[in-house]
């Protein structure tokens, strides 16, 4: 019998499930807070030096989502690897490695800055994207300035994951005004 403290909301799972699978729940929430702080301590100086405030805000948001997820993937792996993965994921969505954009950082430079191999950075980033179903042009993970630029050009999301040009501008305005 394990002596782990099972942390769960009252009534969220039946007692029998908690007793059968105690490894599913975290031992202490302090572990998550410590890991979160360690990762943010690495993200913030890199972001202030090489990125902008929009990127830092999205990295903070993604870190918070990963820390709240149960079981949190942050406990497996080093803080440097997760830092690299978070920056890579936000950078992948917003084309951070495109030289025509500002700021511009190659993904291999992100890996080198944290001393992580490119394979580890790619793998962790892919696991975040799969876990949270993040794709390019995902509105929740795109820079606010990018979203404004897309709206000005008249691009809209019409079917599934494809973007269609300005021909559907009237439909987009109608759809977005009905939602808002």
Q: Are residues 93 and 157 in the same domain?
A: no
CA distance linking residue 61 with residue 163, whole number of Å = 25
Q: Are residues 27 and 116 in the same domain?
A: yes
pLDDT band for position 84 (cuts 50, 70, 90): very high
Checking 167-173 for CB contacts under 8 A at 24+ apart, the result is: none
Structural domain containing residue 88: 15-141
Residue 3 located in a structural domain? no
Give the DSSP letter string of 139-165: GGGS-HHHHHHHHHHT-EEEETTEEE-
Residue 30's φ and ψ, nearest 5 degrees, are: -60, -35
Q: Are residues 34 and 110 in the same domain?
A: yes
- Among the listed ranges 11-20, 36-45, 128-137, which one has the minimum average pLDDT value? 11-20
Residue 48 located in a structural domain? yes
As a whole number, mean pLDDT of residues 68-83 equals 89
Model pLDDT, residue 140: 85
Q: Are residues 83 and 30 in the same domain?
A: yes
């Amino acid at each position: 019998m394990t002596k782990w403290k099972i942390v769960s909301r009252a009534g969220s799972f039946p007692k029998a499930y908690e007793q059968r699978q105690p490894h599913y729940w975290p031992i202490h929430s302090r572990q998550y807070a410590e890991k979160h702080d360690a990762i943010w301590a690495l993200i913030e100086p890199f972001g202030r030096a090489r990125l902008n405030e929009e990127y830092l805000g999205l990295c903070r948001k993604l870190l918070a989502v990963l820390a709240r997820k149960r079981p949190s993937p942050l406990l497996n792996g080093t803080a440097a690897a997760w830092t690299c993965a978070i920056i890579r994921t936000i950078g992948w969505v917003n084309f951070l490695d495109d030289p025509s954009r500002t700021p511009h950082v190659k993904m291999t430079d992100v890996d080198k800055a944290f001393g992580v191999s490119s394979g580890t950075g790619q793998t962790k980033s892919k696991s975040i994207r799969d876990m949270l179903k993040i794709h390019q042009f995902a509105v929740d993970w795109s820079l606010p300035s990018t979203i404004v630029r897309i709206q000005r050009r008249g691009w809209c999301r019409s079917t599934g994951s494809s973007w269609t040009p300005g021909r559907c501008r009237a439909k987009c305005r109608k759809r977005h005004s009905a939602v808002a």
